Structure 1
Amino acid sequence: MLRRVFPPLLALVLGVFTLLVAGAPAQAAPVTVTNGTQFTDTTGAVVHAHGGGVIKVGAYYYWFGENRNPDNTFKAVSAYRSTDLKTWEFRRNVLTQSSAPELAVANIERPKVIYNTTTGKFVMWMHKENGKDYNESRSAVAVSDTVDGDYAWRGSFRPPSGTTSRDMTLFKDDDGTAYQVTSAAGNADLHIYKLTADYTGYDSLVANPWPNNFRESPALFKRDGVYFMLTSGTSGWNPNQQRYATATSLTGPWTPMTEIGDATAYGSQTAYVLPVQGTSGTSYLYMGDRWGNSMGGTVNDSQYVWLPLTFPTRTTMNLPWYPQVAIDTAAGTVTGVGGGPYYNLVARHSGKCLDVTDNSAADGANALQYTCNGGLNQQWRLQDAGGGYVRVLAQHSGKCLDVDGGSTADGAFVNQYHCTTGTNQQWRFDDQGGGYYRLVARHSGKCLDVANASTADGARLIQWPCGTGTNQQFQRPAV
């Protein structure tokens, strides 16, 4: 009897198991994404998710963003999904011009979606304009029962104070409380608002930490109990210096804004920071837009720049450049690929590394020697400047080794500064034998020198007439 019943039973169980497995996505394999490109979906069509945000539901990452008409006005908020953050499947246009009468002629920017576990609704917030100018400066809300379903329009409005609301983002804290961060007061301020329990309206203003700083494109995330706010300056479509601040409470106190990355965020602007959690931990992916409008095109010509954020300490952050980024969503790792080789520059007399003070990304941050420790602020890449000279770029910031003010004087300080065409940022590596080099500044003919031949941590780098001293000789082992 058991022999006669078991084969059909086994077939039924196996059939059900096969259906269940077929309906679930396979574990994502590691992928490599190339920066400064347009992405394509599984059909080969260009991915239009500009100014967007990502929410993870089950095994899938859902990416929402701007999709424009040829005249740059609103066409749709488009939704895509992926398990590996490279293979994007177009799901649908979840909000369109026909979703509400006021969307017929409009601009919708920076859509972000979060999930409300109490109401069971997916809630989208966005910046809404009239399609002609930036005079409306309103927030708007739409909701859906499913992450990639049609979103029902709930209207547009300004914050309770009546101030403007432009570039914005959403953040859901560990306790389920949701917040909107918006560029307010004509972009002069960044306001942090607590949302109502259903996430569809404003509850109260939580903080206005940087009045009159003119910041936009906010991205807010939390790591190890510390809130990070990453923003850009206001320069239209053109890229500019990104800055960030930290706090242990959203109400503050917040730190002042600190420079991060190079002077243009490598030609991009912050859209979102995505935590990628896996078996090896959590990494943080910078998602930036290289706007087509800054290159003579439109929003739909825009490219994407995705980079690994790194954290030298619990409250500090780097945005290094790599031409590609390797992502393993199963492991939770995001790492830079290519762009090297990268070198340490090790002073012969002290055995210490050329270092940018305090891991700073600021223009004018001191170049000094410090005990070698593997930090990105001690890693340097070389960029051809012609005539046998190179620019020497700090990997943590993308900024150049620079003789301050273009001075030709003995003892002039050497710092980091955003890269220019100046010859005070161009260096010739003169071979001194034994794997050591003198670095000769093109504008002055003088050598990079550890001041007073000091062996102490923190000794400044200067330029000085070239001699035979070992404090002017540097080894450059590849990292």
Structure 2
Amino acid sequence: MKILMALLMLLTPVTVTNGTQFGGVHAHGGGVIKVGSYYYWFGENRSADDTFYAVSVYRSTDLLTWEFRNNVLTRSSAAELASAKIERPKVVYNAATGKYVMWMHKENGSDYAEARAAVAVSDTVDGTYAYAGSFRPLGSYMSRDITLYQEGSTAYMISAADENRDLMIYRLTADYRNVESVVGNFWNDASREAPALFKRGSTYFMLTSGTSGWNPNQSRYATASSIAGPWTGWTNVGDATTYNSQPAYVLQLGNSFLYMGDRWAGAWGGPVNSSEYVWLPISFPSSTSMTLGWSPTITVDAAAGTVTGSAVPYYQVTNRSSGKVIDVWNSSTADNAEVKTYAANTGTNQQWDFRSTGGGYLHVINRNSGKCLDVASSSTADGANIIQYTCGTGANQQWSWVASSGYYQLKARHSGKCLALAADAVDLQQLTCGTATTQLWSRS
């Protein structure tokens, strides 16, 4: 105990930058379990073709510096894993049996027709897990995105069923290796996936995403005073894309709660192992409500059990040719409002957040309206108009900030064309990229 206390005292707060991989940690769709002074992070580690390579586990005392421990489950662990997909592994400890039990979503590697849950067991948290097989819960329920929740000696499994239309809560058997009963299907035909269940005070929170493939969407949550319900309907949390992420897990640190999300690389055409992580502090305006705000970095104090977010940096973006800055005309907050240039002032309609969407692309978000710099109607033509619009997943709202001649170009992902000053030296348009100073920008 003295050694543990001394180790905790040595821990200092750390800064975690969003949209990174923690130095190559492949624990996508994963979950965390704390054993002793270490947090163990389990997750997906995929092959180049996105099939199963391993469930990998890493450990950390501060949640920033992660040490690779083991590939606890691999393709050679069982014949049916040789060409499979294994997703969203979660681990709990069974004190009665002395076993660590892992649940995961299992598919055949070529499609999502199996929709099975799978189980593996180990004597140690980061040792080799013995594969115990896959099945549909109670023989008939489809099982896809999955999570676990443990309360005392009782454990629950939550998974998407019925082609992801339903979200089921199951009570596990005493050894945690099978499903004992259905607690309920409280959201029939709601089409929710990526569940993360946690409890704060006397309230249970079920955080989920919608079903939109690799593309991010609006997260929503429901609450209940009992895991057996009744549960509320869904309430939106975060922005329309959950800051370009999907829930994976919610980790409690003291009285703080940390959202752990995946920014899936499939959204920009990359392999799963290029996916990035988004971690954010969860706030609670009341005992039965939660909010999720954006922070480019967070500060985690594992010893104190606190998570805090950083302020968003805003920029003015100045054209080299005119010396004027990008401005939402008349400070409008409406969709389709014109974006032009204007003499610099202190207006928030001239202030922009350059927020990563992954894969080297950015949303350029206006501080006044919260809306995104957008090429109107997703046009790929020269001369297409520039507006602001509610942020979404469209490539016409994704930009790269490319160094050019000591300045930068803003290049639209969907067209490959550059943000440029129009002939009137006020309006903005997209044009084929070139060397003209009307296409060069700086930010401050």
How high is the TM-score relative to the length of structure 1? 0.66
Please give the alpha-carbon distance, in whole angstroms, between the structure 1 residues aligned to 2:350 and 2:197.
Answer: 33
What SS is found at the alignment partner of 1:160? helix
The answer to whether the aligner puts 1:391 opposite 2:366 as a matched pair is yes
Please give the alpha-carbon distance, in whole angstroms, between the structure 2 residues aligned to 1:261 and 1:393.
Answer: 17
Residue number in structure 2 paired with 1:35: 18
Cα distance, 1:39 vs structure 2: 1.5
What SS is found at the alignment partner of 1:146? coil
Assess, with a 3 A threshold, how the Cα gap between structure 1 residues 49 and 393 changes in structure 2: closer, same or farther.
Answer: farther
The one-character-per-residue Cα deviations of 1:402-423 (angstroms, maximum 9, x if unpaired) are xxxxxxxxxxxxxxx94479xx
**One-letter amino acid of the structure 1 residue matched with residue 158 of structure 2:** V
| Contact 2:241-2:392 within 8 A present in 1 as well | no
Within 5 A, what are the aligned runs for 1:310-321?
A: 310-321=283-294
The one-character-per-residue Cα deviations of 1:310-354 (angstroms, maximum 9, x if unpaired) are 000000000100100110011111010131479xxxxxxxxxxxx
| Contact 2:55-2:72 within 8 A present in 1 as well | yes
**One-letter amino acid of the structure 2 residue matched with residue 31 of structure 1:** V
Assess, with a 3 A threshold, how the Cα gap between structure 1 residues 160 and 326 changes in structure 2: closer, same or farther.
Answer: same
Cα distance, 1:392 vs structure 2: 4.0
| Contact 2:281-2:307 within 8 A present in 1 as well | yes
| Contact 1:181-1:218 within 8 A present in 2 as well | yes
**One-letter amino acid of the structure 1 residue matched with residue 203 of structure 2:** V
Please give the alpha-carbon distance, in whole angstroms, between the structure 2 residues aligned to 1:25 and 1:420.
Answer: 42
| Contact 1:262-1:399 within 8 A present in 2 as well | no
Residue number in structure 1 paired with 2:221: 244
Residue number in structure 2 paired with 1:259: 236
Assess, with a 3 A threshold, how the Cα gap between structure 1 residues 210 and 161 changes in structure 2: closer, same or farther.
Answer: farther
Please give the alpha-carbon distance, in whole angstroms, between the structure 1 residues aligned to 2:285 and 2:145.
Answer: 29
Which of the pair is proportionally richer in strand?
A: 2
Please give the alpha-carbon distance, in whole angstroms, between the structure 1 residues aligned to 2:165 and 2:4.
Answer: 52
Residue number in structure 1 paired with 2:117: 139
Residue number in structure 2 paired with 1:468: none
**One-letter amino acid of the structure 2 residue matched with residue 240 of structure 1:** N
Within 5 A, what are the aligned runs for 1:416-431?
A: 418-419=390-391
Within 5 A, what are the aligned runs for 1:313-462?
A: 313-340=286-313, 383-384=351-352, 391-392=366-367, 418-419=390-391
2:184 to 207, 222, 240: 207
Please give the alpha-carbon distance, in whole angstroms, between the structure 2 residues aligned to 1:93 and 1:285.
Answer: 25
Residue number in structure 2 paired with 1:107: 85
What SS is found at the alignment partner of 2:76? helix
1:223 to 183, 200, 224: 200
Residue number in structure 2 paired with 1:79: 57
Assess, with a 3 A threshold, how the Cα gap between structure 1 residues 262 and 202 changes in structure 2: closer, same or farther.
Answer: same
Cα distance, 1:384 vs structure 2: 3.3
Please give the alpha-carbon distance, in whole angstroms, between the structure 1 residues aligned to 2:47 and 2:305.
Answer: 36
| Contact 2:115-2:142 within 8 A present in 1 as well | yes
| Contact 2:4-2:37 within 8 A present in 1 as well | no
How high is the TM-score relative to the length of structure 2? 0.72
Residue number in structure 1 paired with 2:210: 233
Query: Which 10-residue stretch deviates more, 161-170 or 53-62?
Result: 161-170
State the aligned residue count: 336
Cα distance, 1:272 vs structure 2: 0.4
The answer to whether the aligner puts 1:291 opposite 2:264 as a matched pair is yes
Assess, with a 3 A threshold, how the Cα gap between structure 1 residues 83 and 156 changes in structure 2: closer, same or farther.
Answer: same
Please give the alpha-carbon distance, in whole angstroms, between the structure 1 residues aligned to 2:352 and 2:14.
Answer: 30
| Contact 1:341-1:381 within 8 A present in 2 as well | no
Assess, with a 3 A threshold, how the Cα gap between structure 1 residues 23 and 226 changes in structure 2: closer, same or farther.
Answer: closer
Identity of aligned pairs, percent? 62
| Contact 1:268-1:305 within 8 A present in 2 as well | yes
What SS is found at the alignment partner of 1:149? coil
What SS is found at the alignment partner of 1:127? strand
Residue number in structure 1 paired with 2:282: 309
The answer to whether the aligner puts 1:54 opposite 2:27 as a matched pair is no
Please give the alpha-carbon distance, in whole angstroms, between the structure 1 residues aligned to 2:77 and 2:392.
Answer: 48
| Contact 1:178-1:194 within 8 A present in 2 as well | yes
Structure 2 unmatched runs, 5+: 316-333, 336-347, 354-363, 373-388, 394-444
Please give the alpha-carbon distance, in whole angstroms, between the structure 1 residues aligned to 2:53 and 2:349.
Answer: 42
Assess, with a 3 A threshold, how the Cα gap between structure 1 residues 266 and 90 changes in structure 2: closer, same or farther.
Answer: same
Cα distance, 1:48 vs structure 2: 0.2
| Contact 1:190-1:211 within 8 A present in 2 as well | yes
Structure 1 unmatched runs, 5+: 1-16, 41-45, 343-362, 365-379, 401-416, 422-479
| Contact 1:106-1:130 within 8 A present in 2 as well | yes
Residue number in structure 1 paired with 2:149: 171
Please give the alpha-carbon distance, in whole angstroms, between the structure 2 residues aligned to 1:27 and 1:165.
Answer: 43
**One-letter amino acid of the structure 2 residue matched with residue 391 of structure 1:** N
**One-letter amino acid of the structure 2 residue matched with residue 314 of structure 1:** S
Cα distance, 1:27 vs structure 2: 3.6
Cα distance, 1:176 vs structure 2: 2.0
Please give the alpha-carbon distance, in whole angstroms, between the structure 1 residues aligned to 2:167 and 2:189.
Answer: 9
Within 5 A, what are the aligned runs for 1:461-472?
A: none
**One-letter amino acid of the structure 1 residue matched with residue 137 of structure 2:** P
Residue number in structure 2 paired with 1:271: 248
**One-letter amino acid of the structure 1 residue matched with residue 366 of structure 2:** R
| Contact 2:94-2:176 within 8 A present in 1 as well | yes
